[in-house]
Chain A
Amino acid sequence: MRSVAHPNPHAVTLRLDVPDRIDHVPGQHYVIRLTADDGYVAQRSYSVASPPSDPQLEFYVERLEDGEVSTFLADVVEVGDELEIRGPIGGWFVWTADHPALGIAGGSGAVPFVAMVRHARDVGRSDLLRLAVSARTRADLPYADELISAGALVTLTRETYLERPAARVTRDELAALTSAEATCFVCGSAGFAEAATDLLMAAGVAAQRVRVERFGPSG
């Protein structure tokens, strides 16, 4: 473990040195696997926040109060610890900055888009990626500064952001960000993902152009 940071009280950012790492594609995830002395194992999947060019692998883990793995990662892990990880995994929810994309995130669903933003910048194709990120408050939005400077539309449901009153993201807001050739990536809780995909369809986006990554309260 190279570094452990707490960007807010509900999350931890972990940066790991990984020997013989295979380059990931933005959007992919790793499994972090914890083993107790008696052999008991708990494991969960976490999206990578770093781009392939980053010498370390970065994860942003939301601390769920009853999450066996996330509470351990947030409360116990220290610099110098060794963690067992497996990956990169996934060949569907991925983007290589080779065609236009719209990323729509709810809460910590923003993490894979951080990898996409950083990668697009690395290869000089930031123009291909548009983002709409949602959270309750600005403080709840992971990587808020970085996403905002990447031009993300920010929709907050509990507080006003700039001139925008607190409200869920709307169909028109998403429609303004889509284009006929863009792939739409949706990442967030099951409820958020369901609502966002319904809005995309209502905005006329074909189901075949929507890729979804849902996560539940699975700790």
Chain B
Amino acid sequence: MATRGFTGRAHRERDPRLPPGQYDVGSDWPVLTAEATPRLDPDRWTMSVDGLVENPHTWTWEDLHLMQQSEYQGDIHCVTTWSKLATSFGGVSVDLLLDAVKPLPSAQFVLATSTTGYTTNLPLSHIVDGQAWIVWTHEGRPLPREHGGPVRLLVPHLYFWKSAKWVTKLTLIERDQPGFWERNGYHDLGDPWLEQRYQGD
């Protein structure tokens, strides 16, 4: 149903990089967090991968910096309808962490946990093969605190609440278990191209 009188912005060429219902936020980067922003000391922060794996492991800030670094260049999409196009993040691929811990065949899902207690769930198949990173730089500079700095998860093909800020742990599990927003009305998977914003989409 069309809305009476609504034509939208002066007729736009819609950028093909924008998923349905999203708009280009340009150089801005809005902050969305449900919690108070923590002050994390990188020297005391660790990154663990545990649960259904052969060798659970914990990395320090320094450990991760000694691994092969990789960069994501592309777009990110927030469920609140902004997208940030052609941006970049640097860190390590989650593949490297998974290679080290060796997921068991029964592992199907992942619960990401932040230092704040924030959680989000993902199918394991969505964080392998170059789809997910642990990142600490944004466009070449340290990741700002309000955007999850010093370190966050990056899963750019899903809505950005899946890219847990201040991530500290990935737990591999057999059965899906909803995280923070997923318990609070948001979609379980969150594919922006399918507009999976809320439960029932």
Tell me if A207 and B38 are in contact (CB < 8 A).
Answer: yes
Q: Which residues of A contact B28 (CB under 8 A)?
A: 216-217
Q: Check B87 for interface membership: any CB of A closer than 8 A.
A: no
Cβ of A201 within 8 Å of any chain B Cβ, yes or no, is yes
Contact of B35 among A44, A72, A207 (CB under 8 A): A207
Please report the total number of A residues contacting B with Cβ < 8 Å: 43
Q: How far is the CB of A111 from chain B (nearest CB, A)?
A: 16
Q: Residue A163 at the B interface, CB < 8 A? A: no
Contacting pair A214 B33 (CB below 8 A): yes
Asked if B68 is an interface residue, CB under 8 A from chain A, the answer is: no
Cα-based distance from A98 to B155 in the complex (angstroms)? 37
- Measured between beta carbons, the chain B residues less than 8 angstroms from A81 are 3-5
Question: Do residues A213 and B34 form an inter-chain contact, with CB atoms below 8 A?
Answer: yes
* Main SS at interface, chain A: mixed
Contacts of A5 in B (CB 8 A): none
Q: Which of A63-85 contact B (CB under 8 A)?
A: 68, 72, 76-77, 81-84
A36 engages B7 (CB within 8 Å): yes
Which of B3, B80, B117, B180 interacts with A35 by CB under 8 Å? Answer: B3
Contact between B146 and A89, CB atoms less than 8 A apart: no
Given the known inter-chain contacts A82-B1, A89-B185, A207-B116, please indicate yes or no for A37 contacting B7, CB distance below 8 A: yes
Kindly provide the distance from the CB of A155 to the nearest chain B CB, expressed in whole angstroms.
20
Complex interface: chain A residues within 8 A of B185 (CB): 89-91
Complex Cα spacing A215 to B88, Å: 23
A: residues with CB less than 8 A from B are: 33-37, 40-45, 68, 72, 76-77, 81-84, 86, 89-93, 190, 193-194, 197-198, 200-201, 207-208, 210-218
| 4 closest A-B pairs by CB | A216-B30, A91-B184, A190-B31, A197-B36
